[in-house]
């Protein structure tokens, strides 16, 4: 038995997998923001109560968490100090010297995680080739440490100039800090991110140091509390890159688990894309707090080397803190079910970015919420059943939700109650569609060819409207879509990514030396896997960040995992030109190419998730699964009309039916408009073709 646990901003999701039979059990409960582990323990206790013997049979727990990203966004990390090279204490504020809002001179920038008085300089200098220009002055190091001791810092980040080529000075500073400040957490840039670009390396190392004590305490406490429940086996954490690693590695490099939970839904989508041979899949995951998406092409989701967190302007690129670690290419395209609707200063309807979260939550939760949310609107539109939310475990207050919408939206905007609730639902769909079109186009996809796969508690409610706006021809809704991220943990590989910068031109490159560099990275990444308890043969993937000389950004170039020194320079150049032309439409044969960074991903073969087949029911029809009818809003009719409600657990293989329809399961609800044609396959997946609405 294995259990996947995804702690989201609003709900904590559980999927229990029996690897022998392939059967799954699910559970969903409200997240406890003040103590995320409390919801985990409550959920496991509920699974044990419903299915005695569960905890005693568990081999492993796989966990995705929002702890790290929330600590950065809410500024609840450790008191952190930074030791850097003389002249570079302000790199966190200088950043890339690029304004994200060109015409707004007052556009705010994110506050650095370390205050200026805690950013201290030491005398030393390493050249770009790794040679020492100025030896490390130990007295300046001791003075910096003394200052940090007086400030009672809990964590220290060490990031010296060009240390990715020569880390000797950083390791000496680390030794002195550990001697003088026992018990203080230390993060060294050569261990966190040995990569070119001073701002990105410093920002990432500081972020790691900022959340490291918190993550260590959380994972230690979680282990102890799980042990009291009787679980003492393996605890794994989902990486932002789509792999899974041990709790120990996650505690050492918490910056690698910032996008821990959202990436799991993409990995599940990637598995389904391969399983059903879908070349273009748009993975859409909408939970209680955010809606995120990823384009999966040819069964593979891209992994990008950098992203932003804690944006001052939510959808403005460049307004956040840059984190340079491998992360699944996710894009936040909208708000979630708990996003608050209100009248804007311009007198128009606005949804988000503020969220009611789990506490107090939407008005209909009856937990003290007073601001109407997307979930309140979905309930009032008839898309959700007030008596069957979470399978009937949580009753929703329909009357309170209506009063809130009339008070906060309909009245102030001077519109009808029905216009208000449909406006909230429609606006969030339109916002997400605009973001999705951009996301798909930027990655060379075509929105009119993608299959939209829906995940999250709110995803199946909104995916039909989203797909209509995209022009997508088909939807795919897996069983237990409401806990899709937790299910994705079981399809993720044990993996670890590592990078090392070493700038050299293609013409001057020593391919033998590069082969040695790759081998060293492979050994290091394999050690990280073995320390996580990995057994069996390790697979390696190699890639190079290459660019034309003078370019400011790199192009990822996959290279064979065989010996690099058996390749020729013309062959590598041909590979680069091919990739560059695909991305930008042309290449520049006369321009020199240079290598910047070298990457290795070490992974174990993925344990294939065997999808259990539904039991065939001879002569079964959709009528067998009908629960009844209820009025729900139809945008074509512009009014509430009867929708047929189906019990998903009673739908048999090869059953077909048409919209307008609602399909209910415990963790989510699927809305099918009047132009939807539904087929149930042998595994219980819903395949919905979008025809002309009538």
Farthest CA pair distance, the chain: 85
SS3 label, residue 280? strand
Residue 119: strand pairing partners: 82
Among 70-74, 148-152, 515-519, 597-601, the minimum mean pLDDT is found in 70-74
Rounded alpha-carbon distances, angstroms, from residue 518 to 497, 515, 543: 12, 5, 9
Closest CA to 580 of 606, 613, 554: 554
Q: Residues 346-391: pLDDT tens digits?
A: 888 888 777 777 678 899 999 888 999 999 999 999 999 999 888 8
Q: What local confidence, expressed as pLDDT, does residue 164 receive?
A: 92
Angle at which helix 459-470 crosses helix 417-442, to 10 degrees, equals 70
Highest mean pLDDT among 358-362, 490-494, 569-573: 569-573
Q: Residue 85 pLDDT more than 90?
A: yes
Of the two residues 102 and 151, the one the predictor is more confident about is 151
| C-alpha to C-alpha distance for 273 and 295, rounded to whole angstroms | 11
Helices within 329-453 (DSSP H only): 374-380, 398-405, 411-413, 417-442
Q: What local confidence, expressed as pLDDT, does residue 608 receive?
A: 63
Contact at 8 Å (CB) between 237 and 245?
yes
Q: Residue 532 pLDDT more than 70?
A: no
State the residue for tokens 């519109």.
Answer: 415
Contact at 8 Å (CB) between 305 and 545?
yes
Give backbone dihedrals phi and psi of 12, rounded to 5 degrees, phi first. -110, 125
Of the two residues 553 and 126, the one the predictor is more confident about is 126
Give backbone dihedrals phi and psi of 601, rounded to 5 degrees, phi first. -115, 120
Query: How many residues in the chain?
Result: 694
Residue 343 structure tokens: 């009248």
DSSP state letter for 481: G
Q: Residues 174-190: pLDDT tens digits?
A: 999 999 999 999 999 99
| C-alpha to C-alpha distance for 326 and 335, rounded to whole angstroms | 24
Q: What local confidence, expressed as pLDDT, does residue 330 receive?
A: 81
- How much of the chain, in percent, has pLDDT values that exceed 70? 98
Q: Residues 5-49: pLDDT tens digits?
A: 888 777 888 888 887 777 778 888 888 877 888 888 888 888 888
Give backbone dihedrals phi and psi of 587, rounded to 5 degrees, phi first. -135, 180
Query: Any residues with CB less than 8 A from the CB of 555 and at least 6 apart, and which?
Result: 545, 546, 547, 576, 579, 580, 583
Rounded alpha-carbon distances, angstroms, from residue 520 to 243, 383, 606: 21, 55, 24
Region of 666 (left: φ > 0; alpha: ψ -120 to 50; beta: rest) is: alpha
| C-alpha to C-alpha distance for 263 and 564, rounded to whole angstroms | 31
Contact at 8 Å (CB) between 369 and 386?
no
| C-alpha to C-alpha distance for 572 and 267, rounded to whole angstroms | 30
Closest CA to 242 of 266, 273, 271: 266
State the residue for tokens 């460049």.
Answer: 318
Q: Residues 253-266: pLDDT tens digits?
A: 999 888 877 788 88
Contact at 8 Å (CB) between 295 and 335?
no
Give the pLDDT band (50/70/90) at residue 533: low
Q: If residue 485 lies in a helix (H) or strand (E), which one and from where to where?
A: helix 484-488
Residue 473 structure tokens: 């021809």
Beta strands in 114-250 (DSSP E): 119-122, 125-126, 132-134, 155-159, 185-188, 234-238, 244-246
Angle at which helix 36-50 crosses helix 198-228, to 10 degrees, equals 40
Domains, the chain, in order of start with CATH, read 2-72+217-257 (3.30.420.40), 78-199 (no CATH), 495-603 (3.30.1490)
SS3 label, residue 442? helix
Among 88-92, 611-615, 680-684, the minimum mean pLDDT is found in 611-615
Print the SS3 string covering 523-550. Answer: HHHHHHHHHCCCCCCCEEEEEEEEEECC
Rounded alpha-carbon distances, angstroms, from residue 202 to 133, 162, 170, 472, 620: 21, 11, 13, 42, 62
Closest CA to 217 of 250, 181, 189: 250
Closest CA to 378 of 402, 359, 412, 358: 402
The mean pLDDT of 64-86, rounded to a whole number, is 88
Q: Residue 489 pLDDT more than 70?
A: yes
- Evaluate the omega torsion of the peptide bond into residue 660 and state whether it is cis, within 30 degrees of 0: yes
Residue 57 structure tokens: 């049979």
SS3 label, residue 446? coil
Residue 505 structure tokens: 């031109």
Contact at 8 Å (CB) between 547 and 596?
yes
Q: Residue 694 pLDDT more than 60?
A: no
Instruction: Give the DSSP per-residue string, 357-368.
Output: TTTT--GGGTSS
Q: How far apart, in Å, do the first and last CA atoms of the chain sit?
A: 47
Q: Residue 574 pLDDT more than 70?
A: yes
Q: How far is CA 210 from the centre of its chain?
A: 20
Print the SS3 string covering 49-94. Answer: HHCCCHHHHCCEEEEECCHHHHHHHCCCCCCEEEEEECCCCCHHHH
Give the pLDDT band (50/70/90) at residue 646: very high
Residue 246: strand pairing partners: 236
Q: If residue 103 lies in a helix (H) or strand (E), which one and from where to where?
A: none
DSSP state letter for 274: H
Give the pLDDT band (50/70/90) at residue 584: confident
| C-alpha to C-alpha distance for 524 and 535, rounded to whole angstroms | 16
Give the pLDDT band (50/70/90) at residue 595: very high
The mean pLDDT of 633-647, rounded to a whole number, is 93
What does the mean pLDDT of the chain come to?
Answer: 88
- Evaluate the omega torsion of the peptide bond into residue 666 and state whether it is cis, within 30 degrees of 0: no
Residue 236 structure tokens: 């794994």
Q: What local confidence, expressed as pLDDT, does residue 334 receive?
A: 65
Q: If residue 672 lies in a helix (H) or strand (E), which one and from where to where?
A: strand 669-672
Q: How far is CA 206 from the centre of its chain?
A: 20
Contact at 8 Å (CB) between 308 and 322?
yes
Query: Any residues with CB less than 8 A from the CB of 69 and at least 6 apart, and which?
Result: 258, 259, 309
- Considering the entire predicted model, what is its pTM? 0.83
Contact at 8 Å (CB) between 297 and 258?
no
Question: Radius of gyration (Cα) for the chain, nearest Å?
Answer: 26
Q: Residues 417-448: pLDDT tens digits?
A: 999 999 999 999 998 898 889 888 888 889 99
CB crowding 504-535: b at 16 or more within 10 Å, else e: eebeebebeebbebbeebbeebbebbeebebe
| C-alpha to C-alpha distance for 33 and 42, rounded to whole angstroms | 14
Q: Residue 552 pLDDT more than 90?
A: no
Residue 552 structure tokens: 């400011």
Q: What local confidence, expressed as pLDDT, does residue 692 receive?
A: 67
Region of 440 (left: φ > 0; alpha: ψ -120 to 50; beta: rest) is: alpha
Q: Residues 246-301: pLDDT tens digits?
A: 888 888 899 988 887 778 888 888 888 988 999 999 999 888 777 888 899 988 88
| C-alpha to C-alpha distance for 349 and 427, rounded to whole angstroms | 8
| C-alpha to C-alpha distance for 646 and 626, rounded to whole angstroms | 4
Residue 241 structure tokens: 């890159």
Q: What local confidence, expressed as pLDDT, does residue 236 receive?
A: 86
- How much of the chain, in percent, has pLDDT values that exceed 90? 47
The mean pLDDT of 443-467, rounded to a whole number, is 90
């Amino acid at each position: 038995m294995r259990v996947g646990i995804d702690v989201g901003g609003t709900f904590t999701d559980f999927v229990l997998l029996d690897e022998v039979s392939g059967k799954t059990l699910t559970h969903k409960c409200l997240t406890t923001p003040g103590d995320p582990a409390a919801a985990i323990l409550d959920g496991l206790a509920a699974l044990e109560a419903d299915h005695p013997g569960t905890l005693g049979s568990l081999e492993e727990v796989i966990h995705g968490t929002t702890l790290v990203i929330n600590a950065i966004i809410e500024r609840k990390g450790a008191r952190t100090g930074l030791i850097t090279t003389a002249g570079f204490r302000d790199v966190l504020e200088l950043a890339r010297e690029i304004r994200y809002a060109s015409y707004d001179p007052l556009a705010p920038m994110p506050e650095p995680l370390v205050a200026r008085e805690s950013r201290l300089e030491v005398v030393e200098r390493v050249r770009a080739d790794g040679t020492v220009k100025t030896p490390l002055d130990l007295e300046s190091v001791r003075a910096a440490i003394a200052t940090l001791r007086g400030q009672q810092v809990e964590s220290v980040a060490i990031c010296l100039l060009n240390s990715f080529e020569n880390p000797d000075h950083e390791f000496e500073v680390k030794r002195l800090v550990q001697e003088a400040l026992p018990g203080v957490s230390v993060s060294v840039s050569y261990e966190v991110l040995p990569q070119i670009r001073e701002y990105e390396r410093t920002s990432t190392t500081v972020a790691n140091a900022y959340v490291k004590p918190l993550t260590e305490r959380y994972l230690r406490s979680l282990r102890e509390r799980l042990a009291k429940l009787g679980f003492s086996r393996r605890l794994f954490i989902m990486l932002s890159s789509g792999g899974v690693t041990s709790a120990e590695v996650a505690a050492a490099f918490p910056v690698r688990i910032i996008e821990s939970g959202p990436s799991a839904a993409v990995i599940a989508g990637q598995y389904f894309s391969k399983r059903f041979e879908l070349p273009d899949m748009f993975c859409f995951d909408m939970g209680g707090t955010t809606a995120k998406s990823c384009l999966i092409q040819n069964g593979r989701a891209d992994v990008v080397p950098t992203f932003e967190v804690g944006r001052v302007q939510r959808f403005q690129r460049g307004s956040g803190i840059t984190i340079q670690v491998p992360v699944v290419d996710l894009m936040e395209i909208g708000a979630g079910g708990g996003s608050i609707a209100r009248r804007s200063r311009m007198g128009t309807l606005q949804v988000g970015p503020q969220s009611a979260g789990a506490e107090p939550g939407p008005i209909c939760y009856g937990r003290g919420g007073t601001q109407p949310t997307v979930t309140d609107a979905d309930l009032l539109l008839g898309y959700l059943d007030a008596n069957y939310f979470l399978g009937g475990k949580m009753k929703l207050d329909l009357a309170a939700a209506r009063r809130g919408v009339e008070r906060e939206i309909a009245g102030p905007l001077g519109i009808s109650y029905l216009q208000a609730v449909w406006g909230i639902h429609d606006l969030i769909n339109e916002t997400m569609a605009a973001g999705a079109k951009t996301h798909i186009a930027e990655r060379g996809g075509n929105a009119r060819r993608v299959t939209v796969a829906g995940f999250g508690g709110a995803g199946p409610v909104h995916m039909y409207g989203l797909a209509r706006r995209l022009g997508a021809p088909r939807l795919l809704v897996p069983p237990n879509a409401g806990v899709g991220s937790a299910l994705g943990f079981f399809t993720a590989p044990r993996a670890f990514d590592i990078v090392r910068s070493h700038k050299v031109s293609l013409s001057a490159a020593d391919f033998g030396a590069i082969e040695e560099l790759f081998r060293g990275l492979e050994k290091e990444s394999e050690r990280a896997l073995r320390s996580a308890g990995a057994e069996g043969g390790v697979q390696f993937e190699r890639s190079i960040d290459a660019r034309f000389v003078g370019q400011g950004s790199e192009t990822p170039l996959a290279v064979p995992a065989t010996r690099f020194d058996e390749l020729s320079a013309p062959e590598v150049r041909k590979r680069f030109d091919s990739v560059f032309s695909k991305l930008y439409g042309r290449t520049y044969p006369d321009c020199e190419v240079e290598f910047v960074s070298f990457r290795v991903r070490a992974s174990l073969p993925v344990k294939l998730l065997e999808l259990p087949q539904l039991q065939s029911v001879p002569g079964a029809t959709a009528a067998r699964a009908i629960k009844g009818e209820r009025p729900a809003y139809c945008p074509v009719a512009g009014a509430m009309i009867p929708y047929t409600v189906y019990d998903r657990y009673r739908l048999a293989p090869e059953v077909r039916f048409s919209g307008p329809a609602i399909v209910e399961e415990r963790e989510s609800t699927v809305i099918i408009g009047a132009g939807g044609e539904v087929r149930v396959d042998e595994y219980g997946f819903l395949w919905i073709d979008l025809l002309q609405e009538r």
